Amino acid sequence: MTHAATVHSLWTTAAAAPDKIPSPHIEYGQLSPTLIVIGAAIVGVLIEAGLPRRRRYAAQLFLSVVALAAAFAAVVGLAVGDYGTGKAHVAAMGAIAVDGPSLFLQGTILLVALVAVFTFAERRLDPVVHGNRVDSFAAQAAAVPGGEAEKAAVKAGFTTTEVFPLVLFAVGGMLVFPSANDLLTLFVALEVFSLPLYVLCALARRHRMLSQESAVKYFLLGAFSSAFLLFGIALLYGYAGTVGYAGIADVVDGQVRNVTPALAGTMGNDALLLIGGAMVLMGLLFKIGAVPFHMWTPDVYQGAPTPVTGFMAAATKVAAFGALLRLLYVVLPGLRWDWRPVMWGVAIVTMLGGAIVAVTQTDVKRLLAYSSIAHAGFILAGVIATTPDGISSVLFYLAAYSFVTLGAFAVVTLVRDAGGEATHLSKWAGLGRRSPLVAAVFAVFLLAFAGIPLTSGFAGKFAVFKAAADGGAGALVVVGVISSAIAAFFYIRVIVLMFFSEPRTDGPSVAVPSALTSSAIAIGVAVTLVLGVAPQYFLDLASQAGVFVR
Amino acid sequence: MSPVYYLYLAALLFTIGAAGVLIRRNAIILFMCVELMLNACNLAFVAFSRLHGNLDGQIIAFFTMVVAAAEVVVGLAIIVTVFRSRHSASVDDASLMKL
């Protein structure tokens, strides 16, 4: 052996040892919120496969609630462990940022999802069918509406308990989306939370054709917009030679150390940067529902099952604004003289467009959809500020707004007639006389949307507009106040309709919910009032969290 | 051959796909056009990868393929469900919601 080796060494020479591929270093503890939720989602799929039908509902509900609560506890643990401020850093080989904004938004998303799961699990609202209590989801989503298969499924008491793992998958994607620290992670997270939402939209028990229509619209437009996002990512990659946020920011700022000849060529090509940045922005603005890209919002919000609409309206907005903030504040701050005018325009048309079109709506869910568009405009005003206050005010607004939205859609599920939910506004006339409590609760949410003092809406709007004004966007604040006034008109109109008009004889009845929906609505009201009366603690929390890691 | 030509081809394919989504009316064709756009993105990634001499772009292309496959699963499921309840895959027929 040794002899042979020495003989060989006469005519061979040792080559350099092949480069070892370093094994990636993953900080599992810091990624635990996401890992818990995704893990629970996979267990949920296994429950669907293994458990008998009648046991699935309880098991899925228990699993979802425990997983979301555990993930929230993990987020709080990370925040207490100073990962939000002092120890903020980039984890998972540069893919995930663990910092103040991501922890704050992850906490918000998890709480929102927890409350939303309560509304998903509600089984007291729909009338009992063949002795089975049913929820808002189709007995068997694959069955043709009104067909034999559907009747058989309803008779057998099937329910779509798959909604729970779907929500958990969506939440998993949403947790990654605002903390993604490279463009590839951003894209994958976007798809991970979008695909379950497309499916969830198609699952309504009542008005199934509407529900399927909303799903196909959401899917086609969503896939279209994510293709734009991906091409934008390709162009930014071509510009900077990397998809990492910090790397792109360095190239944009011209601070890159070792410039290869290829990079020297592409760095000078502003077309790649500007078009790429614009396309990525487009993809994010679509998810937010800002005005040129808002066309899907009303149809999808109307057609989707109402619990899904509430979850989607609240949580998607939080996640997408988080990603938008990180993109604009971490990747493209060097380009702000280019993107600020564009975002000014988008914010103005979003605020005015949402508020003006909402005035003509006659359906509660569409009304809330246009109101969510207007709110996206208000939040964009805070994004444009490009100051630390801008970040913290947006974080606060998102937390405040998401609970109001969730509560408002939960109230919509209660007002019902023979055909299911009575969403036409004319049917809400006189609701305040028949069920004063439900109408009063809805009025609180509407006042919060309108931004009346002592509600969270006022505190959020004040913070955002103040940040925008300090950041040199005074004109934007003026437009914001005008469109708030327009929006207040139709919120007040609904309140007047509920309290000061005669109830219709064929009007809807208000279903008595179980503790699940009741607690969801109660949490919504409590958060709305607490953030409105005593916002200071939460504003401080948001401003502590308002520093991105790079 | 310069990688730049591949970028022009990617942009062309992307434009064809986007135009198809806007012009065509059948949900399946729309969906195929979206897939064309995603593949145009892949071509751009690989071309840029060659241009910069690093492998990031090629790896991303794999991720894009997986995402596109997942999208096909969900998308076709939705489109087929709609087709079965309406006997039409035209997106113009899907107009139950007004204004």
Domain that holds residue A192: 25-545
Per-residue model confidence (pLDDT) at position B99: 46
C-alpha span between A103 and A125 (Å, rounded): 35
Measured distance between the N- and C-terminal CA atoms of chain B, rounded to whole angstroms:
52
Domain containing B52 — which CATH number? 1.10.287.3510
Tell me how far CA of residue A42 lies from CA of A37, A39, A311, in angstroms: 9, 5, 20
Question: Is A260's CB within 8 Å of B97's CB?
Answer: no
Residues in B 22-41 with any Cβ partner in A closer than 8 A: 27, 30-31, 34, 37-38, 40-41
Residue B97 lies in a domain: no
Tell me how far CA of residue A532 lies from CA of A240, A381, A396, A404, in angstroms: 44, 20, 11, 11
Domain that holds residue B57: 3-86
- What stretches in chain B show pLDDT beneath 50? 99
Q: In DSSP terms, which residues pair with B22 in a beta bridge?
A: none
Alpha helices in A451-535 (DSSP H): 456-470, 474-500, 515-533
- If one counts every other C-beta atom within 10 angstroms of the C-beta of residue A418, the result is 9
The residue among A68, A170, A113, A103 whose CA lies nearest residue A322 is A103
C-alpha span between B76 and A125 (Å, rounded): 32
Residue B69 lies in a domain: yes
B-interface mutation test, from A166, A231, A273, most B Cβ less than 10 A away: A231
Note whether A206 contacts B: Cβ–Cβ < 8 A. Answer: no
- If one counts every other C-beta atom within 10 angstroms of the C-beta of residue A25, the result is 8
Provide the ipTM: 0.96
Q: In what order do the strands lie in the sheet with A420-421?
A: A420-421, A415-417, A509-510
Residue corresponding to tokens 């799903």: A215
- If one counts every other C-beta atom within 10 angstroms of the C-beta of residue B10, the result is 24
The residue among A305, A118, A323, A348 whose CA lies nearest residue A208 is A305
What's the total number of domains in chain A?
Answer: 1
Task: Nearest chain A residue to B26 by CA: give it.
Answer: A220
Residue A13 lies in a domain: no
Helices (H) and strands (E) in chain A, counts: 23, 5
- What stretches in chain A show pLDDT beneath 70? 1-8, 18
Residue B42 lies in a domain: yes
Q: How many CA atoms lie within 13 A of A361 on its CB side?
A: 27
- The one-letter code for the residue type at A266 is T
The dihedrals phi and psi of A258, each to the nearest 5 degrees, come to: -100, 105
The first and second tokens of residue B8, run together, are 């022009």
Residue A8 lies in a domain: no
Residue A441 lies in a domain: yes
Residues in A 339-398 with any Cβ partner in B closer than 8 A: 360-361, 366
The residue among A155, A11, A231 whose CA lies nearest residue B45 is A231
Residue B9 lies in a domain: yes
- The one-letter code for the residue type at A387 is T
Looking at residue A143, what DSSP letter applies? S
Residue A11 lies in a domain: no
The first and second tokens of residue B59, run together, are 């790896």
Across A29-51, b (16+ Cβ under 10 Å) vs e yields ebbbbbbbbbbbbebbeebbeee
Per-residue model confidence (pLDDT) at position A2: 53
Residue B94 lies in a domain: no
Alpha helices in chain B (DSSP H): 3-23, 27-52, 56-86
Across B39-59, b (16+ Cβ under 10 Å) vs e yields bbbbbbbbbbbebbebebbee
| H/E stretch holding A89 | strand A89-91
Q: How many CA atoms lie within 13 A of A139 on its CB side?
A: 23
Residue B31 lies in a domain: yes
C-alpha span between A135 and A160 (Å, rounded): 9
pLDDT digits (tens, 9 = 90+) for A287-335: 999 998 999 999 999 999 999 999 999 999 999 999 999 999 999 998 9
What's the total number of domains in chain B?
Answer: 1
Question: Is A220's CB within 8 Å of B31's CB?
Answer: yes
Note whether B57 contacts A: Cβ–Cβ < 8 A. Answer: yes
Residues in A 443-502 with any Cβ partner in B closer than 8 A: none
Residue A270 lies in a domain: yes
The residue among B79, B83, B3, B37 whose CA lies nearest residue A283 is B37
Per-residue model confidence (pLDDT) at position A255: 87
Residues in A 159-198 with any Cβ partner in B closer than 8 A: 184, 187-188, 191, 195, 198
Residue corresponding to tokens 């929230």: A72
Contact A114, A68 (CB under 8 A): yes
The dihedrals phi and psi of A128, each to the nearest 5 degrees, come to: -65, 130
Question: Is B97's CB within 8 Å of A237's CB?
Answer: no
Average pLDDT for chain B: 91
Note whether A250 contacts B: Cβ–Cβ < 8 A. Answer: no
Residue corresponding to tokens 């048309």: A349
Q: In DSSP terms, which residues pair with A244 in a beta bridge?
A: A182
DSSP B3-22: HHHHHHHHHHHHHHHHHHHH
Contact A375, A354 (CB under 8 A): yes
